[in-house]
Amino acid sequence: MSTASGQTTALDTLVIGAGAAGMQAAAFAGAQGGRVLVLDHAKAPGEKIRISGGGRCNFTNLYAEPKNFLSQNPHFAKSALKRYTQWDFIDLVVRHGIPYHEKTLGQLFCDTSAKDIIRLLLDEMEAVGAQLWLKTRLVSLEKAETGFTATVEREGQHRQLTARNVVVAAGGKSIPKMGASNLGYQIAEQFGLAVTETRPALVPLTFTDGLLEHCKSLAGVAVDARVSCGKTSFDEAMLFTHRGLSGPSILQISSYWRESAGVRVDMAPGWSAEDDLRAWRTQQGKKQISTLLSERLPARLVESLLGEANLTAARAGDLPDKKLRALAERINAWSVLPTGTEGYRTAEVTLGGVDTRALSSQTMEARDLPGLYFIGEVVDVTGWLGGYNFQWAWSSGWAAGTAISNRS
C-alpha cells in the first residue's frame, strides 16, 4: 500500500466493516491488484460469523433463491444472487478444505467451527494483499474531486485516507453489544440516500399478562408448528420461553409481523385434532384425553391445555361437543397477539435499510454517487433464517468487489 506525502494513505478501495460482506467484497475488489483496506472498530474481524449458527455458521442454503428475501423492492436482490450463487460460495468452502454438512432444510453448517469461514475470508483477502485495520474508528468521510477522503482514528492517532471507491459494509443494528452501530445508515443519509424503516427481525416475540404467564409456565417446551401471519406461514419448531415465543418458526414470522397483528399457531400441522378427538370419543371413550393427546404433543403442553379447559382428568368419551371444538381449535389454530419483540438485543438481523432504489442491482453502487457502494445487511434486503443472510453478504459483496476490480 502506498502512503502519499504526510499522513495520507492512498487507496483504490476503502471497505467499512470487516464482517461477512466487507471481507468478501475486499477479496474480490483486490483481484486485479487494487489497493484495498478494510477498517473495523471491533477487536476482531467477522464477530457475527463467529457466533453464528451456534458457533458453526450456517453459511448458506442449498435452496437459496430471491423468494427467501424481504425488501421493499423484491426484485433488487435477484441479479447478485443469480450471478454469485450458493454454489459459488460452496466451491470456495470446498477449495479451502472446510468440512461442512447439511443440517436441515438445505442449511449448510461447518462441521468444526465458524472460525473456518473467518479464516477463509482472511486468507482470500491476504491472497490479494487487502489490508485489515481493526480497532479503527471512522471520524469523517467526504466526497473529493475524484473519489473520497476519510479521516480515521487508529492507535490514538488521526490518519487521512483517500480512496476512489468506498464500500459500506457496516451491517445492521442487531446485537449492539457485538459492535453493531448506525454507521452505515448515517453514511447513506450523509450522501442523500434514503433509508427505509428499520426494525428488528428474526427475533423472538413477546407477550404480556395471561399469555406471558402461559409461555413462562411452558418455558423449554418445543413443538413442530405452523406459524402464520397474514398470508405467510412457516413450518418449523416453536419454543416457549420465559419472555414469550421463540424457535425458528417464530423468528421467521417475526420478519413479517407488525404491531397489533395477530399470529396463528398450528401446534400439530398436518393432523386434525378435531377428527381424532371425535374418533377417540366414540372408539376409545374410556381413555383419558391426556393419554391420547400426549402421543401427539409434549406432555407438559397437554397438561396445560387440558388445565385451561378444565379437562385435566376427563375421559375421551365425556368430551362435550363445544369443548371438543374449542380444544381442537386451541391445538390447530391458536390465535395470539404479540405485544412486541425482544428487539435488537437478540434480533439476528435488521429489516429495512439503505433504499435499494438508490443503488444499482448489478454493482451495489449508488446511482447518483459513483464510487460509493452499499452491501450486506445495511441494505434493505433481509433473508429468512437458514443461511440466507450470509448468502446475501457473499452475493452483494461479490457484486461490488468484482465491479470495482473490473474497472481498475
Segment contacting ligand FDA by CB under 6 A, of 209-217, 222-230, 258-266, 384-392:
384-392
CA 51 to chain centre: 13
Determine, following the binding rule CB under 6 A, whether residue 168 of this chain makes contact with ligand FDA: no
Of 114 and 268, which CB lies nearer to ligand FDA in the complex structure?
114
Count of positions on this chain that bind ligand FDA (CB under 6 A): 36
> Which of 14, 36, 218, 349: binder of ligand FDA (CB under 6 A)?
349
Query: Looking only at residues 364 through 383 of this chain, which bind ligand FDA when binding is defined by CB under 6 A?
Result: 376-377
Determine, following the binding rule CB under 6 A, whether residue 171 of this chain makes contact with ligand FDA: yes
| Calpha distance 112→214 (Å, rounded) | 38
Of 181 and 288, which CB lies nearer to ligand FDA in the complex structure?
181
Determine, following the binding rule CB under 6 A, whether residue 356 of this chain makes contact with ligand FDA: no
Binding mask 118-137 for ligand FDA (x = CB under 6 A): -------------------x
Work out how close the CB of 297 gets to ligand FDA at its nearest, in angstroms, rounded to a whole number: 29
Residue nearest ligand FDA (C-beta atom): 19
Of 319 and 359, which CB lies nearer to ligand FDA in the complex structure?
359
> Which of 387, 398, 399, 402: binder of ligand FDA (CB under 6 A)?
387
Query: Looking only at residues 178 through 197 of this chain, which bind ligand FDA when binding is defined by CB under 6 A?
Result: 179-181, 183
Burial of 119 (0-12, 13-18, 19+ CB in 10 A): middle
Q: Which residues bind ligand FDA (CB under 6 A)?
A: 17-22, 40-42, 47-48, 51-53, 57-58, 137-138, 169-171, 174-175, 179-181, 183, 348-349, 376-377, 387-390, 393
